[in-house]
């Protein structure tokens, strides 16, 4: 399930490349249309299931409204929801109030250093270039992806921004 998308984000403009998610069956990709509502009002209890893995693009690609809403709702979520993260540059994942989430990620860089120092992140030893394949083969499982998509000047084309190294693979592998 891909949440936070303003409208169906196919095809996707990503860092100068135009692509689509046609490799994944339509039944595996669900889009929640936020319309003109603010993402901070999104109700995660309506979409998350026990054991789900939630992810979002790394660094400046983080959809802050959605990730902050997720953290505010953490105590009402089903048991066992996990987070998969790349490099974080914001303060969303604060070691002080991260529980009940279990976090696994690609590195201890950026603000992930705080999670590493607190022993709250399990690092996956891999190169970023391998992540798309690991996501598609569900070696790194992702069930729900939080993305921010903006319409471009070309009708029907949406941008997920410049941080899209494995964003498309996350979208393709989400339920």
Query: For residue range 80-89, what is the model confidence (pLDDT) as tens digits?
Result: 999 999 998 8
Region of poorest pLDDT, from 62-66, 108-112, 163-167: 163-167
Regarding predicted confidence, which is higher, 58 or 11? 58
In whole angstroms, what is the distance from residue 23 CA to residue 114 CA? 36
106-158 residue pLDDT tens? 999 899 999 999 999 999 999 999 999 999 999 999 999 998 877 788 877 77
Q: Write down the pLDDT at residue 10.
A: 41
């Amino acid at each position: 399930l891909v949440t936070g998308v303003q409208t169906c984000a196919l095809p996707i403009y990503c860092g100068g490349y135009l692509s689509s998610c046609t490799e994944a069956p339509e039944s595996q990709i669900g889009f929640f249309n936020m319309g003109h509502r603010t993402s901070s009002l999104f109700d995660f209890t309506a979409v998350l299931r026990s054991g789900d893995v939630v992810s979002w693009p790394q660094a400046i690609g983080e959809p802050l409204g959605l990730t902050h809403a997720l953290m505010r709702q953490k105590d009402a979520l089903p048991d066992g929801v996990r987070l998969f993260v790349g490099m974080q540059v914001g303060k969303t994942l604060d070691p002080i109030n991260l529980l009940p989430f279990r976090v696994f990620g690609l590195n201890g860089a950026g603000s992930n250093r705080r999670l590493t120092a607190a022993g709250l992140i399990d690092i996956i030893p891999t190169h970023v270039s391998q992540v798309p394949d690991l996501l598609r083969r569900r070696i790194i499982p992702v069930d729900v992806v939080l993305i921010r998509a903006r319409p471009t000047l070309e009708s029907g084309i949406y941008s997920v921004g410049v941080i899209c190294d494995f964003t498309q693979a996350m979208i393709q592998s989400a339920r």
